[in-house]
Amino acid sequence: MSAGEIPASSAPGAPQFHVLAELPWPQPPDADDDYFLEKFQASVETLPAMLHKNYSLMRELDKSLQGVQLENEQRCQQEIEDIKHGLESGSITTYEPAKLKFSDEAIEEQKHCVRIADEKVALATQTYDLVDAHIQQLDQYMRKLEELRLEKEAAAAAAAAAADTAVAATSAAPAGAGSLRSAAADPAPKTGRAGERSRGGRKNTTLFCRAKVPMEMPTEMPVEQPAIDLELPVDPNEPTYCFCNQVSYGEMVACDNPDCKIEWFHFGCVGLKEQPRGKWYCLSCSAFQKKRKGR
């Protein structure tokens, strides 16, 4: 790539990079942990290749920018020498302002450098958004897995409560009918059968009662569903930005003051709707620069 070429990502046929869509809802009714794990693994498999492509384009932009800057510096230095020589020889006077400025070619090269720098910033922002989208998608998968875990625990608790209710109802069943049925069925009990009834009278009574007196099946006791907390703990190590002192999200813009204490700002917090062209300063740095110029 020559110094004058810019790999514009917005040009026809150029590679486009898109932020991931939201988690595909609704999921299959039988979706389990493995389903979400496979989905996230499939979405993240292409991330290394996309990052490698973005970083390669950024290196090309750096190389192109350095080439254009070098050519512009040499051109401007030569034009300064020509102006000095003209003033010394008298071929140029101070009354000819048109001859005391840089040529149109030099100015166009400087604008070209700004366009390359803007393209690099846009590509860096795009790369950041790409990684951030995968992080947000991972958070969604983790939240959904937590929901599934709580649902399974609630279902298990409901089943256990229903089983306990059924056992309690069975234990409270009347034993008289069973005793009468047992005596009528076995007028002369054998030793082994008698021993079984004496040891397991409750079991036999239950069977006889079911045969003669239908029992009403216990209704399922309502089980209070545990509240599902969808809010995951915030990583205390995640840095915060902007006047709002929040973590990074959405589109953000960087202050061009190298000494800016905050550096990155959310578009909505500073009233921006698109990436600014050229240099941009936050309110604090802009006011500080105006104060310095006023001195």
Per-residue tokens: 84:
């000095």
Q: Is 113 annotated as a binding residue?
A: no
Q: Is 255 annotated as a binding residue?
A: yes
Q: Which residues contact 13 (CB under 8 A, 6 or more apart)?
A: none
| Alpha-carbon gap, residue 92 to 85, rounded angstroms | 9
| Alpha-carbon gap, residue 164 to 158, rounded angstroms | 10
Residue showing tokens 């007196």: 213
Q: Report whether 23 contacts 144 (CB < 8 A).
A: yes
Residues in the chain: 295
Give the per-residue SS3 of 77-139: HHHHHHHHHHHHHCCCCCCCHHHHCCCHHHHHHHHHHHHHHHHHHHHHHHHHHHHHHHHHHHH
Identify which of 262, 242, 239 has the alpha carbon closest to the alpha carbon of residue 252: 242
Q: Is 244 annotated as a binding residue?
A: yes
Q: Is 266 annotated as a binding residue?
A: yes
For residue 241, the SS3 value is: strand
Compute the C-alpha angle 149/150/156, nearest 5°: 90
Numbered residues of the known binding site for Zn(2+): 242, 244, 255, 260, 266, 269, 282, 285
Numbered residues of the known binding site: 242, 244, 255, 260, 266, 269, 282, 285
